[in-house]
A and B are shown apart, each in its own frame.
Chain A
Amino acid sequence: MRSFYGVTLSSPLMLGTAQYPSPAVLQEAFRASGASVATVSLRREGGQGQAFWDIIRALGVHILPNTAGCHSAREAITTAQMARELFETNWIKLEVIGHADTLQPDPFGLLEATEALAADGFEVFPYTTEDQVLAARLLEAGAQVLMPWGAPIGSGLGLNNRYGLRTLRAAFPDVPMVIDAGLGLPSHAAEALELGFDAVLLNTAVAQAGDPAAMARAFGLAAQAGALARAADPMAPRDMAQPSTPVIGKAWL
């Protein structure tokens, strides 16, 4: 696995902390998954924040704050600055949302915010699409990690554009990349790792499963399986059949 701003993760699974039925289920899911990173956010303090902070710290994983819900570069930059102080990390999962239905990133705002935050010492994880031109611009702007979506956030559709993702992976072989958003099943996570992505980030697929802890474990194992498969150099697919049992020595019957 490529490292993320100098950090080598113990597992290729990053897990969100939202939408669990209870804090206890959240903790159980993290334990079962072996996830190495937890994503978190900032919201107006209503009295719940302090207890949540204690739960997150007890997980013992890397913390990746997000700028979820931000629709402009300015809003995302201010949120990132607040997150850096609150969570004591330079890591920021940068979301600048451009469309309410698809939650597709706004490429222009994303680029503007990436440039400003990278210049200010942030280690930016931009939530982007498979767009290769935007990827190049984000890297030029100072991002050293990319987080292309698999499918729209919360959709559970998996890898919507395998061709585009494979092309993106091949275009920037040294850049650590995380498939973020849209995964619904462990097989989607395995596929992402098999394609050469370094990690997956998901939330809804685990938190909204009937048994979040069991699903978290399944995702953790699938991501590991995909990483092992990638490292083992998979065979090339072919159109025609090729017998696997030796033909030579077959009896004349």
Chain B
Amino acid sequence: MKIDVNGTAHDVTATTVAEALAELGWAEARVATALNGDFLPKGARATTPLAEGDRLEILAPMQGG
């Protein structure tokens, strides 16, 4: 299915957020996720299904002031 990951269209076979992270190579990474604009806690990724057109944000620690 087609979803939007960090502003870029992706075609994934994953059906949950956790599977999508693994498919994109971020399974072990220290990241935080938001689905369609709402925070999605790490513990909920495996049980949160993906739907066509979902917007997934994957954020990482970055420099800041």
Contacts and interface: CB of A to CB of B under 8 A. Distances in A.
A70 B32 CA distance: 17
Nearest to A69: B64
B63 A85 contact: no
Nearest to B5: A44
Contacts of A204: 65
Given A45-B58, A48-B60, A85-B41, A78 B65 contact: no
A220 to B, nearest CB: 17
A160 to B, nearest CB: 18
Contacts of B46: none
Contact of B6 (A17, A44, A48): A44
Contact of B29 (A42, A45, A56, A87): A45
A85 B64 contact: no
A42 B65 contact: no
Interface string B51-65: 000000111111111
A39 B63 CA distance: 8
A17 B65 contact: yes
A219 to B, nearest CB: 14
Interface in A149-181: 153
B61 A82 contact: no
Given A44-B6, A78-B38, A86 B63 contact: no
A182 to B, nearest CB: 11
B65 A19 contact: yes
A39 B64 CA distance: 6
Given A78-B38, A78-B39, A81-B39, A41 B62 contact: yes
B3 interface: no
B7 A44 contact: yes
A126 to B, nearest CB: 16
A143 interface: no
B34 interface: yes
B37 A42 contact: no
The 9 tightest CB contacts between A and B, nearest first, are A49-B60, A41-B64, A16-B65, A203-B65, A82-B32, A45-B60, A81-B39, A43-B62, A18-B63
Given A49-B59, A82-B39, 16 more contacts: A19-B63, A41-B65, A42-B59, A44-B6, A44-B58, A45-B6, A45-B26, A49-B29, A49-B60, A50-B29, A50-B60, A52-B60, A66-B64, A68-B64, A78-B34, A86-B60
